[in-house]
Amino acid sequence: MVTDQVRIERRDAILTIAIDREARRNALNEAVAAGIEAGLDLAEADRSVRAVVLTGAGEKAFCAGGDMQPAADGTPFTIDAADPRHYVARLLRRMDSCRLPLIARVNGHALGGGLGLVCACDLAVAREDALIGVTEVRVGLFPMMILPYLLRVVSYRRMMELCITGETISARDAVADSIVNYAVPATELDAKLDWLLARIVDKSPTGIRLGKQALAKVREMSTDSALEYAQFMLANMARTRDAREGFTAFSEKRPPNWTAK
């Protein structure tokens, strides 16, 4: 499937969403956000999809953040006063609610909102020379829309250094800060991604789906509320067909046959 500014492709159990604005360094606008959301909807509607990969076209940029060109189409730096539901917030919420593993394939620089997209994914594999950072302070702004996601992934002091200096770091250095999981030479990016995906798609899709759903709620709860919710979820997960198959396969010493139910 091809949309105006986003490509959606299926390969086996993996659905890939690629921002297709290479001439604009895959900058984020409303059409791109809508395309990513559409890709997530397609993935979740198909029980045979086991993971989603988010990437950018070309080899220079994963996503350079909001389009800062004059009169850019769908720039994220304005908002309709009559309808203040910002599309970047909508996109990040949609990524948050995705019940499939969401992996960023960081094929190039991830700046500003692009880093926000990386942080909104569950895992990230990057080419080691990709630059990562939030450069909004250079033009008198601050990375407002992505702050909740930066705070989840980046330590406070490191996040503040990135935000108030506007300086970038390499993906190689971002591994040490746990901003990305793996950073490899560009020629090894897809091999490393495939290696990671192979470790995911053979696991219980139901376990992952319900686990992600639970994690999203636990993140917002007090410890006592989280423990009460967790025991309820664990008991319910144990009744799923996948869990019963997992226990049976373990006792029979064979690979499980997951049904995603």
Active site residues: 136
Task: Provide DSSP, 18-56.
Answer: EE--GGGTT-B-HHHHHHHHHHHHHHHH-TT--EEEEEE
Rama region for 86: left / alpha / beta (φ>0; ψ in -120 to 50; rest): beta
How far is the C-alpha of 161 from the C-alpha of 206, rounded, in Å?
Answer: 39
What single letter denotes the amino acid at residue 10? Answer: R
Rama region for 58: left / alpha / beta (φ>0; ψ in -120 to 50; rest): left
How far is the C-alpha of 131 from the C-alpha of 73, rounded, in Å?
Answer: 25
DSSP 66: B
For the record, the structure tokens of 33 come out as 């956000």
**Can you say how many angstroms the Cα of residue 247 is from the centroid of all Cα atoms in its chain?**
30
Q: Angle between the 241-251 and 205-218 helix axes, to the nearest 10 degrees?
A: 120
